[in-house]
């Protein structure tokens, strides 16, 4: 019998897989010229997340983690971050079977049956992960939250997100356990606008987003969002200097992401000296994702997680939480997630990513990489003193 106490926890709940926003093809509503789907339809389907959990189970890794569910957060806990009028309206639309939120509460994100209740579960998983790691119950943790949260602002649903899971977790642990300084690094392919919006005038939360330039949100959807996702959006008031946007060119791959981490993101975290680090873990910068145009592969996420883990060990005793965000390739997200959780836990499995050699061969060449590294190098004095 194995009496080893796991250092890494994994938070999951079957209820999160039961959220549905309605009948879509990727992000296009069915109707008019859009034919009804034959498969899982909406981009934010449960399958990429369910298949990740299944691969963790099949690989044997899940048995070596401390697996938990969590209680749903309450309305009052959600209101630590979100406006009560927004929460009340979201609950009302969800309770009547779903539909579209009224302006100004919605940008592009329909509500399904029980969306509100399932979003409370999703946020509860992230909240418990952050709480358990901060209190030292585990060294680090992964929260398989769904629906995701990193686009949700204080008063708007956006980009498949209703509640900002990470922000709620931070505010809860601050209120109840005295968490002071925390760094968020968001490597979802889309801009981490939700955390930026919520903490933009704060100096106790460092928000860093590595994202594809002008992917989502952009000015076609939300005016001024491209400026707010640029390197010049640094925060305001007390928060000036505590927001970092690394807006990467489409086609960026393994080498560019690691360069951005090593030269800017991780040195900024070390200078900030947080009590813990949270990764908004989107896997949609992978080379097969339908909603991104980036070139990462499973070993990219393994390497990126290892680098952040090493930084966490330097600055905050290894306290690191990953919360699941985007990632829409049902075939490939599981392998990216497994690689990240292997690096997080320090436990390797026998799983091999299919066609990894092909993904490696597709990586950008020296011309692109040297061009983009030069751009990133010019950003360094903008972000680091």
Q: Provide the annotated active-site residues.
A: 151
- The answer to whether the CB of 290 falls within 8 A of the CB of 331 is no
Residues 6+ apart with CB under 8 A from 125: 11, 12, 13, 16, 69, 70, 143, 144, 145, 165, 323
| CA neighbor of 244 nearest in space, from 292, 198, 192 | 192
Q: Which two tokens stand for residue 174?
A: 């601050």
Which uninterrupted H or E stretch holds 341? helix 333-345
How far is it, in rounded angstroms, from Cα 255 to Cα 13?
35
| CA neighbor of 114 nearest in space, from 139, 147, 81 | 147
Quick one: angle between helices 333-345 and 298-315, nearest 10? 30
How far is it, in rounded angstroms, from Cα 186 to Cα 308?
11
Q: Which two tokens stand for residue 113?
A: 């049956």
Which uninterrupted H or E stretch holds 320? strand 320-324
Q: Which two tokens stand for residue 311?
A: 């930084």
Which uninterrupted H or E stretch holds 141? strand 140-143
């Amino acid at each position: 019998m194995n009496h080893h106490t796991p250092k890494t926890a994994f938070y999951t709940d079957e209820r999160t897989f039961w959220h549905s926003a309605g009948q879509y093809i990727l992000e296009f509503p069915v109707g008019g010229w859009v034919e009804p789907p034959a498969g899982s339809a909406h981009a934010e389907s449960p399958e990429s997340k369910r298949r990740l959990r299944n691969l963790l189970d099949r690989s044997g890794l899940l048995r070596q983690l401390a697996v938990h569910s969590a209680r749903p957060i309450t309305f009052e806990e959600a209101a630590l971050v979100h406006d009560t009028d927004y929460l009340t309206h979201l609950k009302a639309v969800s309770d009547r079977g779903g539909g579209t939120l009224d302006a100004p509460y919605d940008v592009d994100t329909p509500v399904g049956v029980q969306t509100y209740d399932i979003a409370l579960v999703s946020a509860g998983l992230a909240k418990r992960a952050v709480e358990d790691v901060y209190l030292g119950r585990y060294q680090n943790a992964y929260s398989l939250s769904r629906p995701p949260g990193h686009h949700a602002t204080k008063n708007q649903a956006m980009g498949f997100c209703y509640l900002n899971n990470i922000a709620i977790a931070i505010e809860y642990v601050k209120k109840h356990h005295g968490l002071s300084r925390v760094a968020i690094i968001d490597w979802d392919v889309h801009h981490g606008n939700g955390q930026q919006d919520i903490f933009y005038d704060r100096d106790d939360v460092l928000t860093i987003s590595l994202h594809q330039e002008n992917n989502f949100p952009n000015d076609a959807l939300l005016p001024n969002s491209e400026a707010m996702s640029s390197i010049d959006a640094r925060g305001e008031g007390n928060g000036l200097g505590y927001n970092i946007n690394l807006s990467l060119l489409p086609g960026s791959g393994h080498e560019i992401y690691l360069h951005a981490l090593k030269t800017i993101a991780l040195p900024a975290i070390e200078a900030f000296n947080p009590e813990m680090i949270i990764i908004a873990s989107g896997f949609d910068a992978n080379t097969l994702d339908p909603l991104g145009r980036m070139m990462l592969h499973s070993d990219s996420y393994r390497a990126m997680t290892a680098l952040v883990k090493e930084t966490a060990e330097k600055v905050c005793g290894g306290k690191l939480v990953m919360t699941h965000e985007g990632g829409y390739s049902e075939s490939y997200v599981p392998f990216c997630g497994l690689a990240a959780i292997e690096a997080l836990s320090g436990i390797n499995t026998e799983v091999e990513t299919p066609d990894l050699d092909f993904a490696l061969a597709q990586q950008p060449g020296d011309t692109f990489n040297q061009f983009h590294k030069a751009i990133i190098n010019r950003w360094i004095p903008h972000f680091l003193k």
